[in-house]
């Protein structure tokens, strides 16, 4: 706008000048070398202006002619550069969509047109990476180290190549060089921190984390959490060598992240070693309110060495009250009550825990409670069977890896603070549901129970009260096959002096096996009575005697040695029995043998369970008498 006003002002001034000259006419005379030229003033002014314009034009024409070679060269250079940048742009786009061949072609064209353009070197190196020519890519990245402008790019490319081939030492070296060269470089800062943490160089990792926080690569919340994790790892390493320094590190970590369970456990354990009981209790209480954990309960219970079981129970009661309606608190209280022989409290807390989170730990504790309080082997086997099928207990999980102990970094990708306390994924918690595949560690948790399983038949028969289980061996048929010989189970009833034995079963080949007494309509009892040896029937009801006939490996005679009873497993209540006893008045007993050629006789006998998984046992509630059934059901 200002330029336009200036131009208008100049035109206006020229017009005024011409008008002033036109108002004052006159003659201009030129006398030179005998020539005399006379013209008007206006004509002379116009001629002078035209001469000036022609002079300017001729001068510019001469300059153009003199500069034309340079102008022509500049034109071609500019055209070449435009073509090179166009090829570079197309190469970057091809690289972005994953077209390695086009990216390489455009990169080569851009290199010819642009020469030593840094972006061209990067395009050629990355296109070689994309095409799988890793040797060529490494060579191009190494060549970039000679150029100060391209050195950070070359270090990053070599770092990526070292990561690809699994060379952590070289990758860490390139990351450290890049971090020194360009402070605040995000990938270099995070990579250096990760490699230092994986290598266990906790002091250097803390310094690297502080540099990253100063460069604003991490936020304040992440910085506090990661520093607490590194301090906890360092405290765990120094716990035995330098407990005083470890205590300071653990306390600092607990202050930075109060919900970090390992930091609280280490701080409480070291405070207990120094005799600072109040400090240890306070640390555990603070973390328990945020993240209940079994290790916290254990550290709280043993905060004072030499305490009795009752003292530990009292302390755990106070801890559990801080976080009501929590499964971890109920399990911790049940464990303490079991150690203090307070079985009523232990049973009530286990019932609450199984209501909140029915995990394996609760069922194993219930099995231990049954063994300690009643010595009931049948119920112990029942709870162990439920433990096999129960959901897994929470554990430390990181990137699909389940660990019993906490670790500061992930074992998969080295990520800091990757482990979380949660239930393992179902795919990682696959367990065989048969009792034959029970983990030995489950029995090691209950040494007294392991010594009593499986129960011996003479122990079951020695019980004064309850049904008698007789185990004999049936005579085999000629050339018997293991798969063709069924397990024969018959049921008899002892009622009064009358005993009319009838043939109840035969072997698969038709030869007579073990004989049993028929029962007209015996009163059924739960299979639990057979497993535990208890008589659950009403007064006056005859006690049934179950005879189990299994084939003998001898010469066809019945063996007198009792067989071993396999642990009971959960069986569907709707499964059909193998054999049933005939009622009175129906004549001779028909063979009660069912074809079992396709069945595996090595499987244990399965007893239906009585209680639901959330039932804490006989003392946990009022159990009604089981309904009457037509007879026992045994499953082979």
* pLDDT per position as a tens digit, 419-462: 999 988 864 544 433 333 334 444 444 444 444 444 444 433 33
What pLDDT, on the 0 to 100 scale, is given for residue 238? Answer: 93
Q: How far is CA 542 from CA 72, 469, 506, 520, 539, in A?
A: 122, 14, 26, 12, 8
pTM of the model: 0.59
Model confidence at 348, pLDDT cuts 50, 70, 90, reads very high
User: Is pLDDT of 551 > 60?
Assistant: no
User: Is pLDDT of 484 > 70?
Assistant: no
**pLDDT above 70 as % of the chain:** 67
**Among residues 418, 380, 374, which one has the least CA distance to residue 396?**
418
CB within 8 Å of 572: residues ≥ 6 apart: 608
The secondary element (H helix, E strand) that includes residue 545 is strand 544-551
SS (H, E, C) 433-466: CCHHHCCHHHHHCCHHHHHCCCCCHHHHHCCCCC
SS (H, E, C) 561-574: CCCCCCCCCCCCCC
B/e letters for 29-44, b = 16+ CB within 10 Å, e = fewer, are: eeeeeeeeeeeeeeeb
What pLDDT, on the 0 to 100 scale, is given for residue 48? Answer: 85
Model confidence at 368, pLDDT cuts 50, 70, 90, reads very high
pLDDT digit string (tens) for 564-623? 333 333 333 333 333 334 443 344 434 443 443 444 444 444 434 444 444 444 444 444
User: Is pLDDT of 476 > 50?
Assistant: no
Cα dihedral 563→566→571→576 (10° resolution): -10
**Among residues 42, 38, 39, which one has the least CA distance to residue 20?**
42
463 vs 270, more confident: 270
- For residues 383 and 370, is the Cβ–Cβ distance under 8 A? yes
pLDDT digit string (tens) for 43-100? 888 888 889 999 999 999 888 888 888 888 888 889 998 999 999 999 999 999 999 9
Q: How would DSSP label each residue in 200-213?
A: T-HHHHHHHHHHHH
CB within 8 Å of 147: residues ≥ 6 apart: 118
What pLDDT, on the 0 to 100 scale, is given for residue 258? Answer: 95
Beta bridge partners of 502: 516
**pLDDT above 90 as % of the chain:** 45
What pLDDT, on the 0 to 100 scale, is given for residue 245? Answer: 94
CB within 8 Å of 430: residues ≥ 6 apart: none
Q: Output the six-digit token pair for 248.
A: 């300071």
Q: Output the six-digit token pair for 576.
A: 């059909």
């Amino acid at each position: 706008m200002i330029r336009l006003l200036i131009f208008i002002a100049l035109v206006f001034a020229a017009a005024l000048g011409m008008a002033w000259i036109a108002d004052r006419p006159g003659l201009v005379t030129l006398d030179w070398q005998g020539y005399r030229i006379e013209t008007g003033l206006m004509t002379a002014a116009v001629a002078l202006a035209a001469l000036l314009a022609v002079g300017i034009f001729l001068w510019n024409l001469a300059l153009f002619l003199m500069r034309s070679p340079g102008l022509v060269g500049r034109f071609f250079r500019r055209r070449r550069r435009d073509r090179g940048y166009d090829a570079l742009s197309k190469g970057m786009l091809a690289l972005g969509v994953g077209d390695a061949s086009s990216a390489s072609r455009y990169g080569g064209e851009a290199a010819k047109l642009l020469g030593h353009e840094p972006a061209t070197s990067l395009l050629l190196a990355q296109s070689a990476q994309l095409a799988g020519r890793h040797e060529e890519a490494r060579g191009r990245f190494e060549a970039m180290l000679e150029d100060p402008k391209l050195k950070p790019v070359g270090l990053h490319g070599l770092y990526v190549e070292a990561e690809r081939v699994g060379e952590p030492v070289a990758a860490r070296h390139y990351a450290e060089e890049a971090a020194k060269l360009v402070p605040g470089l995000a990938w270099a800062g995070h990579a250096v921190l990760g490699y230092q943490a994986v290598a266990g160089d906790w002091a250097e990792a803390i310094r690297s984390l502080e540099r990253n926080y100063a460069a604003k690569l991490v936020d304040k919340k992440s910085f506090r959490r990661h520093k607490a994790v590194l301090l906890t790892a360092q405290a765990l390493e120094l716990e035995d060598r330098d407990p005083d320094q470890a205590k300071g590190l653990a306390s600092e970590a607990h202050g930075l992240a109060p919900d970090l369970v390992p930091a609280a456990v280490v701080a409480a354990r070291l405070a207990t070693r120094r005799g600072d009981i109040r400090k240890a209790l306070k640390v555990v209480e603070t973390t328990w309110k945020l993240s209940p954990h079994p290790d916290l309960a254990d550290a709280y219970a043993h905060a004072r060495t030499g305490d009795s079981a009752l003292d530990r129970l009292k302390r755990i009661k106070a801890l559990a009250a801080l976080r009501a309606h929590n499964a971890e608190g109920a399990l911790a209280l049940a464990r303490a009550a079991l150690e203090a022989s307070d079985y009523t409290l232990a049973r009530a807390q286990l019932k609450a825990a199984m209501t909140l989170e029915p995990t394996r730990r609760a069922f194993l504790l219930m099995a231990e409670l049954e063994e300690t309080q009643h010595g009931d082997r049948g119920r112990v086997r029942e709870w162990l069977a439920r433990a096999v099928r129960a959901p897994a207990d929470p554990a430390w999980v990181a990137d699909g890896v389940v660990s019993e102990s906490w670790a500061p970094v992930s074992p998969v990708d080295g990520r800091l603070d990757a482990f979380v306390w949660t239930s393992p994924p179902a795919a990682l918690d696959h367990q065989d549901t048969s009792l034959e595949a029970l983990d030995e560690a489950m029995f090691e948790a209950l040494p007294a129970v392991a010594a009593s399983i499986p129960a011996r038949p003479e122990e079951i028969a020695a019980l004064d009260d309850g049904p008698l289980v007789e185990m004999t061996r049936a005579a085999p048929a000629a050339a018997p096959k293991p798969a063709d010989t069924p397990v024969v189970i018959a049921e008899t009833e002892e009622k009064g002096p009358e005993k009319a034995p009838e043939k109840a079963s035969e072997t698969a080949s038709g030869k007579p096996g073990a004989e049993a007494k028929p029962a007209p309509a015996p009163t059924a009892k739960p299979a639990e009575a057979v497993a535990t040896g208890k008589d659950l029937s009403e007064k006056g009801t005859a006690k049934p005697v179950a005879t189990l006939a299994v084939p003998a490996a001898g010469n066809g005679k019945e063996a007198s040695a009792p067989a071993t009873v396999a642990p009971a497993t959960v069986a569907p209540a709707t499964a059909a029995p193998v054999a049933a006893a005939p009622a009175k008045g129906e004549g001779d007993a028909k063979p009660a043998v069912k074809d079992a050629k396709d069945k595996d006789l090595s499987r244990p006998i399965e007893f239906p369970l009585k209680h639901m998984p959330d039932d804490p046992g006989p003392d946990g509630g009022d159990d009604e008498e089981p309904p009457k059934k037509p007879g026992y059901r045994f499953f082979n």
